[in-house]
């Protein structure tokens, strides 16, 4: 099991239908209202994903440092909306813009799909966009710690849309400068949650770093909850309800 599967064990919801989309490195798991999940809806969703990725890829061709920078960059006003979204999130968290790419794609696609869907959960490599009118429970995977498969976050219907993103230094292929087993950020947008999760996880080497890392994250405007796990230690802050699953 890897970080990519971190959130795939949320409590099953019979009102949702799930499908997957794949475009190059992007692999999405999307759950929406059963009645609107038609072949046409899925096809249109893939078209949107292709366009969003193309916007990022074309921008990188003209601005090579956008892919490699570990620090925020100045983004021109005529850049594609998803690129500007990544740039804004990166600046808030003081990381490079690609730290927000998974959350930004989930967010941008979710904002398009919610024009026709009332219930949307988009997972992109452990980063989620959630739009729901019902209470949901999202399971957490934290490497080989005792919390994996045992701990979940309850998402109340009144809190969405929101982003819920994870970063880990012990599992998965994403770059992390820390050794956290899991840092989960809840924020008003998925792009911000993704960038802040990366920045916060970078600050965790041992369990003694959990509280300072949370203090860093909770000062960033738009962050509404933080959960950090290292080994047998757990620290949390904000509007998050932890439940046993």
Q: pLDDT digit string (tens) for 173-202? A: 566 676 888 999 999 999 999 999 999 999
The CA radius of gyration of the chain, in Å to the nearest whole number, is 17
How many distinct structural domains can be found in the chain? 1
CA atoms within 13 A on the CB side of 190: 25
Supply the range of the domain harboring residue 91.
Answer: 3-244
Confidence of residue 12 (pLDDT cuts 50, 70, 90): low
Distance, CA of 93 to CA of 97 (rounded, Å): 10
Report the share of the chain in percent with pLDDT over 90.
72
Confidence of residue 3 (pLDDT cuts 50, 70, 90): very low
- Nearest CA among 214, 165, 201 for reference residue 186: 165
CATH of the domain at 169: 3.10.520.10
Measured CA distances, 59 to 114, 201, 202, 209 (Å): 26, 27, 26, 36
Predicted confidence (pLDDT) per residue in 75-104, tens digit: 999 999 999 999 999 999 999 999 999 999
């Amino acid at each position: 099991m890897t970080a990519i599967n971190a959130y795939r064990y949320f409590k099953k919801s019979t009102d949702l239908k799930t499908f997957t989309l794949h475009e190059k490195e992007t692999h999405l798991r999307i759950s929406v209202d059963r009645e609107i999940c038609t072949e046409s809806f899925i096809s249109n969703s893939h078209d949107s994903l292709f366009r969003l990725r193309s916007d990022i890829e074309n921008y990188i061709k003209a601005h090579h440092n956008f892919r490699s920078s570990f620090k925020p960059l100045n983004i021109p006003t005529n850049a594609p909306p998803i690129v500007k979204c990544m740039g804004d999130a990166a600046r808030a968290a003081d990381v490079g813009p690609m730290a927000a790419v998974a959350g930004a794609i989930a967010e941008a696609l979710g904002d398009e799909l919610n024009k026709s869907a009332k219930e949307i959960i988009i997972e992109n490599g452990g980063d989620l966009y959630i739009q729901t009118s019902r209470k949901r429970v999202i399971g957490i995977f934290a490497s080989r710690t005792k919390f994996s498969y045992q701990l979940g976050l309850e998402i109340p219907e009144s809190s969405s849309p929101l982003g819920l993103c994870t970063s880990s230094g012990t599992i998965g292929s994403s770059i992390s400068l820390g050794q956290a087993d899991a840092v989960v950020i809840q924020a008003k947008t998925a792009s911000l949650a993704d960038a802040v999760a990366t920045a916060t996880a970078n600050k965790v080497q041992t369990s003694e770093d959990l509280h300072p890392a949370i203090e860093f994250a909770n000062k960033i405007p738009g962050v509404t909850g933080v959960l950090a796990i290292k080994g047998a230690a757990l620290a949390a802050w904000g509007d998050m309800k932890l439940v046993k699953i």
